[in-house]
Amino acid sequence: MFGLLFLGTVLFIGIHIGRQRQAEKKYEAMRTTVVQSVEEITEQQNIGTEETVENTEMKSDAPHLSNTVDFDKLHQENEDIYAWIQIPGTLVDYPVLQHPTDDSYYLDHTVERVSGLPGSIYTESIHPKDFSSPMTVMYGHNMRNDTMFGSLHDYETPGKLEESPYIYIYLPDRTLVYQIFAAVRFSDAYLPQYCNYEEEAEFQAFTEALRASDGNVNDEVETPYGSRLLILSTCIGNAPSNRYLVAAVQIDEYE
């Protein structure tokens, strides 16, 4: 009996690991065919921001990286893909999905709609797909191999905020650039209903709560009322009642 249970456990783990590897191979294939490579990004950064994307107004010091995402091709894979997130200097480089009716669907379904880990990077339908709301929360699993949002925990290291400060959100018609101001341990409160982000006092109280939380903060990055925030949320392995948040503010937008 024990032997059968052991074999069953080994088989389950093998299937589990196999699905994760298959999912990551799929994401790697997507990066290869529809998104510029890390080497191309590095080359653009080395050239200088003024030469990365021509004829665009620079609102910040962040490099303007070319948006090479082929959304038509991505939609052939899954029509729920509506954006792509990329954080140079981390392993975060994935399509972003939003299910039209089931907000928790991509918590445990891959981009190929296969049930199980590693799931997908996703937002809930409460957030507009154009990132126009005062605060957008994006979710991803904290995978042990640092895939999905696992590498967000790199920001626990002092200096990482300065080393990899920018988040790029590629949309079909433009690119949004965010700068990270906090990477902290927070409560597991449901952030879309945490406060009324349209109200100045509550918006400012939320950003102050983030800055006061345990973690790393860049106080030089301002978050005035009226800013648009992007919160990347993942779990903490030994703290199920907390979430690890990487919080950023939009600083640029270009076509």
Please count the structural domains in the chain: 1
- Position 14 scores a pLDDT of 43
Q: What is the 3-state secondary structure (H, E, C) of the chain?
A: CHHHHHHHHHHHHHHHHHHHHHHHHHHHHHHHHHCCCHHHHHHHHHHCHHHCCCCCCCCCCCCCCCCCCCHHHHHHHCCCEEEEEECCCCCCEEEEECCCCCCCHHHCECCCCCECCCCCEECCCCCCCCCCCCEEEEECCECCCCCECHHHHHHHCCCHHHHCCEEEEECCCCEEEEEEEEEEEEECCCHHHCCCCCCHHHHHHHHHHHHCCEEEECCCCCCCCCCCEEEEEEECCCCCCEEEEEEEEEEEEEC
Domain boundaries, position 7: 2-254
Query: Each residue's pLDDT tens digit in the chain (255 positions)?
Result: 544 444 443 333 444 455 667 777 888 888 887 765 445 555 555 544 444 555 567 889 999 999 999 999 999 999 999 999 999 999 999 999 999 999 999 999 999 999 999 999 999 999 999 999 999 999 999 999 999 999 999 999 989 999 999 999 999 999 999 999 999 999 999 999 999 999 999 999 999 999 999 999 999 999 999 999 999 999 998 899 999 999 999 999 999
How far apart (Å, rounded) are the C-alpha atoms in residues 24 and 43?
Answer: 25
Sign (positive or negative) of CA dihedral 91, 250, 175, 102: positive
CATH number at 75 reads 2.40.260.10
Question: The whole model's pTM is what?
Answer: 0.86
- Position 105 scores a pLDDT of 98
- Position 13 scores a pLDDT of 40
Q: How far, CA to CA in Å, does 80 sit from each of 101, 111, 176, 190, 234?
A: 11, 9, 19, 23, 21
- Position 26 scores a pLDDT of 83
Written as six digits, the tokens of 38 are: 């890390």
- Position 56 scores a pLDDT of 67
- Position 59 scores a pLDDT of 85
